[in-house]
Amino acid sequence: MNCILLPAENFSTDKAKIDAMAQVNHVNKVLGAKVGDTLKIGQLGGHLGTATIENMAPDRIQLCNVQLDVIPPAKPDVTVVLALPRPKVLRRLIIDMTALGVRNIVLINSYRTQKSYWQSPMLERLDEFVLEGLQQGVDTIAPRITLQKRFKPFVEDTLPRLMTNQAIVAHPYGEQSFSEWLQSNSSLGLPSLVCIGAEGGWIDYEIALLAAQGCMPVHIGPRILRTEAAVNAILGQWLL
């Protein structure tokens, strides 16, 4: 954790409390903080700042001198449409995309998405993964996450409304690379929507449907990457 994020109800005037055991343990065991030390904190949905440890108990840490005066970093104008991946990969991807500042995340069904993934208990823990990503990226504003189990209706009816600029779909067999696409569209800036498949990528039917809605198929080099590597390689453009 690069900051401790707390819900609004944990604040009172210039005081606050840390009562989530994962955070209490982090302060004690990882930071090794003591009474009088200053912590970097933030209010979920609000501002970032600092606070001083007033007292410590096994299950709670009381803070004083709370100052929340730092605006969280601006989010890039990007929506990621991601074919629902394997549950273990999902956790890492939600954390990474949240830390990178993705504004909207759409988890969608695809031909290569196994039906069992939609019954995974990991989907009930998305808020937990988002919090982990926010604390990693030192942000307070959570991305909007939606689940879409029907590919064709989503692409035809909803996808166009999510585009505020151009859109791309990651495809290892695309004729144009992402860097070439960026150079030829330099006046328009980065795309506002990125579609990334799960392991095995999109099938031709899905690529065609996405392309029909204006998503340009692009590749990111001759190597075929795992989903999490592709996500981070593409979204890294927004950090440059």
- Dist. CA 157–CA 96, nearest whole Å: 28
- Dist. CA 203–CA 83, nearest whole Å: 12
Which pLDDT score, from 0 to 100, does residue 38 have?
96
Which pLDDT score, from 0 to 100, does residue 222 have?
83
Give the burial class of 101: count Cβ atoms within 10 A of its Cβ; 0-12 exposed, 13-18 middle, 19 or more buried.
buried
Which pLDDT score, from 0 to 100, does residue 204 have?
93
CA 238 remoteness from chain centre:
13
Tokens of 193: 């929507």
- This prediction has a pTM of 0.92
CATH 3.40.50.2300 holds for 79-239: no
Q: In the chain, count of helices (H) and strands (E)? A: 8, 13
- Dist. CA 69–CA 211, nearest whole Å: 44
Length of the chain in terms of residues written:
240
Tokens 């208990």 -> residue: 121
Residue-wise pLDDT for 124-135, tens only, equals 999 999 999 999
Tokens of 98: 């949240």
Between 186 and 219, the more confident residue is: 219
- Dist. CA 53–CA 34, nearest whole Å: 7
Which pLDDT score, from 0 to 100, does residue 57 have?
94
Could you give phi then psi for residue 84, rounded to 5 degrees? Answer: -55, 120
For the chain, the average pLDDT equals 93
Domain-by-domain residue ranges, the chain? 4-70, 79-239
The CATH number corresponding to 4-70 among 2.70.150.10, 3.10.270.10, 3.40.190.10, 2.40.240.20 equals 2.40.240.20
